[in-house]
Amino acid sequence: MDPHVLIFPLPLQSPIKSMLKLAELLCLAGDIAVTFLNTDQLHRRLLSCTNIHSHFSKYPQFRFETISDGLAEDNPRTADRFMELIDGMEAVTKPLFREMMVNGGCLSSSSEKPVTCIITDGPMSFVFAVTEEVGIPLIYFDTISPSALWTYFCFPKLIDACEIPITGHDLDAPVKNVPGMEGFLRRRDLPSFCRAEHLKDSDIQFYLNAILFFPRSQGLVLNTFEELDGSVISGLRSFCPNLYPIGPIHAHLKNKLASQVTPPPTASSSLWKEDWNCIEWLDVQSPKSVIYVSIGSQAVMTKDQLLEFWHGLVNSGHRFLWVIRSNSIAGENSWEGRIPNELLEATKMRGCLVTWAPQEEVLAHPSVGGFLTHNGWNSTLESVVEGVPMLCWPCFLDQQVTSRFVSEVWKLGIDMKDTCDRAVIETMIRNLMGVRRDEFVESAKQMAKLARESVSEGGSSSTNLNSLIEYIRLVRL
Ligand code: UDX
């Protein structure tokens, strides 16, 4: 049978984007068929916001399939209701997925093109159960920060040593039971759900389950590169020997496409309409003069936090491009009317507001000199590749660990962490964009160079991708 990979991402912006990049990399191998299984609801949004269908039409061996996520059409599918998504998928998606995979289903062994390998996300544990039943190799693709993933593997030790749950008074206590991070990791840097006010047994069990199957799968793909996450990669390899660090995956794909005879434009995989006017605005700004601000696709801020950021940005005196995503202000639909006039006037002078930006192009733009980010993993890698220093305001999940690595290990920026105060924001922006700029520019340039080398021919990520492709070809026999 010809190799046929089913790629099944967690239906959220970041995993979908990374896995579509992986899907295209596998299509470029030439002899691998790829089916991308998206949820009905998100697939409709993807088609309404991008030209993804026409982009992938040039790969005859690629197709989209869709499946229900079990949620009501109007469910916002935001991070704060994440467990509803997981429950919906367990109740509705799992039986539908099983039907596809067994007894003559469209992806089963008796179909025209049987699936020979599945690549999916950790939190969808039902996929493991179905693939084990049908006896197909399963490879996980971890789309969050590998350093945060490593802390998940250390949870049993952290719990035994009473290092989690974390209470307010010991946030600055050093963490002793995450090998390789003893020198710099504090409890406040652990994933936010480890804090007592968030932690429920179900949470810990959920995240332990999310990695429970990794060592029992046939491989683990990581969106990182050896030169960035070397120590963490060796730790993870002790649990999952078949490890494939092939990132930064967006840069990897861009590099592969650039070597095509007629390089096609990379396709957007945004679930919101991108506002390209911001590129025209950037075109008339001075080099490195703009700080780009975005908290990704899931994080939200309160209206009070929005005002603190707004005052901090305006008072910093720097020019700013700010993504204020619809549904990103907690509990507020009509916050626009309640912004002080002096902020609006100053924004007209020095700022540009959009609801969704072409982020990779923004970070690559010569006018952008800094990135105020929540440190979602895709955003972090996109900033690393473009050599843009970061001001980190992590919100949840893996972002706290990542922001600590940015400031303490990679020296690529400043970690604002749990602060949201206009004076601190103003000072940190001035530090990142001016006063302390030279501290980060050199290390950011260096890391960007290592990132690009890793995805070039003979680089570590390029070699690991070839190994993954060889494995996929092998299992078809
Ligand atoms: C989620 C989790 O929040 C994050 O912690 C985890 O690491 C990955 O899954 P998200 O919050 O969406 O991710 O952040 P991120 O990983 O940065 O992904 C956001 C993606 O949206 C990026 O690829 C970014 O390029 C894109 N984006 C963001 C846009 O295209 N336009 C925007 O305006 C903002």
Contact present, 372 and 291 (Cβ < 8 Å): yes
CA distances from 341 to 58, 222, 261, 313, 345 (A): 50, 46, 53, 15, 6
Ligand 1 centre distance from Cα of residue 14 (Å):
5
Give the distance (Å) from ligand 1 centre to CA of residue 13.
7
Do 58 and 90 form a contact (C-beta atoms < 8 A)? Answer: no
In whole angstroms, what is the distance from residue 217 CA to residue 40 CA? 27
pLDDT at 75: 87
Is 400 touching ligand 1 by the criterion CB < 6 Å?
A: no
**For residue range 26-51, what is the model confidence (pLDDT) as tens digits?**
999 999 999 999 999 999 999 999 99
Cα separation, 345 vs 281, in Å, equals: 17
What pLDDT is recorded for position 332?
72
Predicted local distance difference test score (pLDDT) of residue 421: 96
Is any ligand 1 atom within 6 A of the Cβ of residue 146? no
Question: Which residues have C-beta within 8 Å of that of residue 150, sequence separation ≥ 6?
Answer: 178, 180, 181, 232, 235, 236
- DSSP β-bridge partners for residue 243: 220
**Whose alpha carbon is nearest atom 23 of ligand 1?**
378
Dig out the tokens for 153 from the structure.
């593997």
pLDDT at 45 (0 to 100):
94
Specify the pLDDT at position 371.
98
Question: Tokens 């998504």 label which residue?
Answer: 85
Residues of the chain with pLDDT under 50: none
- Residue 169: CB atoms within 10 Å: 7
Q: Residue 318, Cβ neighbours under 10 Å: how many?
A: 20
Q: What pLDDT shows up at residue 354?
A: 97
Task: Report pTM.
Answer: 0.97
Task: Specify the pLDDT at position 261.
Answer: 81
Q: Mapping DSSP to helix (H, G, I), strand (E, B) and coil, where does residue 111 land? A: coil
Q: Is 403 in the pocket of ligand 1 (CB under 6 A)?
A: no
Average pLDDT along the chain:
93
- Whole-number Å distance, alpha carbon 287 to ligand 1 midpoint, is 25
Q: What is the pLDDT of residue 351?
A: 97
Return the ligand 1 atom nearest residue 399 CA.
Answer: 5
Q: Which of 46, 297, 300, 380 to mutate to test the pocket of ligand 1 (most atoms within 8 A of CB)?
A: 297
pLDDT of residue 477: 59
140: nearest Cα among 3, 18, 297: 18
Structure token digits, residue 163: 């290092």
Q: What is the DSSP string of 230-274?
A: HHHHHHHHTT-SSEEE--SHHHHHHHHHHTSSSPPPPPP--SS--
Sign (positive or negative) of CA dihedral 402, 403, 404, 406: positive
> Is the distance from CB of 126 to CB of 96 less than 8 angstroms?
no
Of how many residues is the chain composed?
477
Which residue is it, tokens 């994080």?
Answer: 299
Residue type, 15: P
For 53, 172, 221, 262, 269, the CA distances from 58, given in Å and listed in that order, are 9, 53, 25, 12, 16
- Residue whose structure tokens are 């006037």: 345
375: left (phi over 0), alpha (psi -120 to 50) or beta: left
Largest CA distance in the chain: 68
CB of 323 closer than 6 angstroms to any ligand 1 atom = yes
